[in-house]
Amino acid sequence: MPFLNREYTRECLALAFPVMITQVGQVSVNLFDNIIVGKMLGADALASVSLANAIFYSTFVIALGFSFAIPPLISEAHARHDSQTVNSVFAHGLMINMAVGIILTMALFISLPLLYYSGQPAKIIPGTIDFLQIVIISIIPFMAFQALRGFSEGLSYTAGVTKATVIANVINIVLNYVLIKGVWGIPPMGIRGSAVATLTARIFMVVFLYFVLFKENRTKSYLNNFSLKMASFSKSIFFRMIQIGLPTALQMFFEVTAFASAAFICGLISADQIAAHQIVFSMASFTYNLCIGFGVTATVMMARKLGEKKFTELRKVGINNIKITFIFMLLCGLLLIIGRNSIPSFFVKKEDIELIRIVSGLMIIAAVFQLFGGIQVTSLGILRGLQDMKKASFYIFIAYWIMTIPLGYFLCVYLKMGALGMWIALGAGVIISSILVVKRFLYTSSIRSE
């Protein structure tokens, strides 16, 4: 019996590859921000942007989690050829995204003064606030983009999302250089220039994607019939989407805030420790976010099987997707280990010798971390497709909040291991969470198949 099912693997890769390119584009915004800021402005500026991104994403994932309810419901309805439900899910999803996005935008602005009492190095706080004051605004256009993305991916059309993300990423890189340094008569803006570049790129993404979907045959008819009239909304659909979106938002919040807390904890040691953490996190999250392509694909494939009522195939499809993810992340881990001594030089100046040394040591742990992280993200995608996320969010809470954060503080601060201790704790947390969510998938798929 072959290790991989040829039919399922072909379908998985066809759907996953464009999503992976999209994820590369989205995570590259943060990655290139760090590279350009670190190279042009130094370690302190990198620490400021690192802390700002940790705060931003730990809050933003709450909004992002709600948008993950859109693809499985649209995919299931599309498999039944139910165009009315497809349109209804999209409209409800857009309204939820906008409401959550506005609330979180206001909450972040209100909480900015609390940074002065966070215990972080005083010299990086002004830069952190400068960056956040601008990039927070990007939550609104990004949530509109996520609604369009979920709608498109639920219909198995991923090329438009990929185009929007890739072009936006190019815009972000160019504007980062132009606005930070100041060229063509534009005054140098420093850290604020990087934030403006990110905001501009995200506004472009949503506008571009809308026009692409409006011209695409598979999505044009739905957009032509799209309506936000009050009479078209239903409490039952809102409730169903929140049943999927809220546990997903909590799962993502627990996970990402563990990494945000890791940045804070490392910052209690020194600016070099938080900068080292952010560099390794940027590399690990780059490959981890690629695996979101497999997670999204798993969601769509599982939801499609549910819509087609092919319950006996659920377990086979899920296990095959996990195997593909394992192979991919194993290769990525080997690349991190091989490049552990050269990769840090892309982020910081050559004279930051101590910082480069710390990052090099953390890369080995990150390689192990991402292997289990990939399995976790694909398994969570499977559970979203099965519309079974309540237990998964609880597992993530236990693994990251109950275990990882206290253990990380103990190792990093109390035992004075620095970022190394924090990453040991993160690795332990992701191993436990991946085992728990895989067990949940195996249980749920066996029940559905009976």
pLDDT in tens, 71-120: 888 888 887 777 788 888 888 888 888 998 898 889 888 888 777 776 66
Res 223: pLDDT:
75
Residue 208: band (very low, low, confident or very high) from pLDDT cuts 50, 70, 90: very high
Share of the chain above pLDDT 90, in %: 4
pLDDT in the model for residue 170: 84
d(CA 375, CA 319): 10
The whole-number pLDDT of residue 204 equals: 92
**If pLDDT is split at 50, 70 and 90, which confidence band does 238 have?**
confident
Is 314 within 8 Å of 448 (Cβ atoms)? yes
Q: Is residue 204 part of a domain?
A: yes
The string of DSSP codes covering 58-92 is HHHHHHHHHHTTHHHHHHHHHHTT-HHHHHHHHHH
The answer to whether residue 70 sits within a structural domain is yes
Q: How does pLDDT run across 336-350, given as a tens digit for each residue?
A: 888 777 777 676 666
In the prediction, which pLDDT does 348 show?
A: 64
pLDDT at 1 over 70: no
Contact criterion met (CB below 8 Å) for 167 and 204? yes
pLDDT of 450 above 60:
no
- Tell which phi-psi region holds residue 369, choosing left (phi > 0), alpha (psi between -120 and 50) or beta: alpha
Of the ranges 62-76, 222-236, 391-405, which is most confident? 391-405
Cα–Cα distances (Å) from 296 to 216, 255, 309, 351, in that order, read 21, 18, 20, 41
pTM, to two decimals: 0.75
147-176 burial by CB neighbour count: b if 16+ within 10 A, else e? bbbbbbbbbbbbebbbbbbeebbebbbebb
Determine, yes or no, domain membership for 189. Answer: yes
Within-domain flag for 267: yes
Q: What percent of the chain has pLDDT over 70?
A: 89
Highest mean pLDDT among 22-26, 258-262, 293-297, 351-355: 293-297
List, for residues 262-295, the tens digit of each pLDDT value: 877 877 777 677 777 777 877 777 777 778 888 8
Note the pLDDT of residue 436.
Answer: 92
List the one residue out of 277, 258, 279 whose CA is nearest residue 268. 277
- Residue 232, pLDDT > 80, answer no
Domain that holds residue 383: 6-449
* Residues with Cβ within 8 Å of residue 386, at least 6 apart in sequence: 302, 306, 314, 441, 444, 445, 448
Using an 8 Å Cβ cutoff, are 437 and 376 in contact?
A: yes
Judge whether 238 lies within some domain.
yes
pLDDT greater than 80 at residue 407:
yes
- Which SS3 state, helix, strand or coil, does residue 415 take? coil
Give the chain's domain count.
1
pLDDT 10s digits, 135-193: 888 889 989 998 888 888 888 777 788 888 888 888 888 887 777 776 776 766 677 77
Side-chain-side CA neighbours of 302 within 13 Å: the count stands at: 33
The answer to whether residue 1 sits within a structural domain is no
Average pLDDT over the chain reads 81
The larger pLDDT score, comparing residue 85 to residue 204, is at 204
